[in-house]
Structure 1
């Protein structure tokens, strides 16, 4: 699946990531935070159990249920 990846800074130099299908806007319930575009049109395998580099568990389930996938608070990566 091709996706657009956004990120926002968190405490202690960590980041949260939000992933939406390519070309789709950030869903309204997630627009209350300042997301900046990180990458667009990235091919990601939504059937994976976890997107390690983004700290996103169950990306396929999240995309199906919410229309986006987001970093787990427990897994905010540094980069």
Structure 2
């Protein structure tokens, strides 16, 4: 699946990531938050590999339920520690 990835820096330099299917607008419930484009047109697959702190199965479930996936509070990471 092709996605667009957004990043938000929070307290203690922790970052959350938001993944939206490629070229889809930010959902209204998150549009008022300060999300910055991190990467566009990214291959996001169920390879078992974590993408932007998001576990693939969880991310695909979130996208199916609400149209986007977002980092869980416990999965936030320091800026620059993303793979």
Please give the TM-score of this superposition, normalised by the length of structure 2: 0.84
Aligned equivalent of 2:15:
15
Q: Secondary structure at the match of 2:77?
A: coil
1:17-59 per-residue CA deviation (whole Å, 9 max, x = no partner) reads 00000000000011120100000000011x356x634222401
Gaps of 5+ in 2: none
Aligned equivalent of 1:34:
34
How large is the RMSD of aligned CA atoms in angstroms? 1.5
Does the CA contact (< 8 Å) of 2:44 and 2:51 recur in 1?
no
Where do 1:1-79 residues align within 5 Å?
1-45=1-45, 47=46, 52-57=50-55, 58-78=58-78, 79=80
Does the CA contact (< 8 Å) of 1:4 and 1:40 recur in 2?
yes
Please give the TM-score of this superposition, normalised by the length of structure 1: 0.87
Distance 1:56 1:37 in 2: 16
Does the CA contact (< 8 Å) of 1:3 and 1:21 recur in 2?
yes
Aligned residues: 77
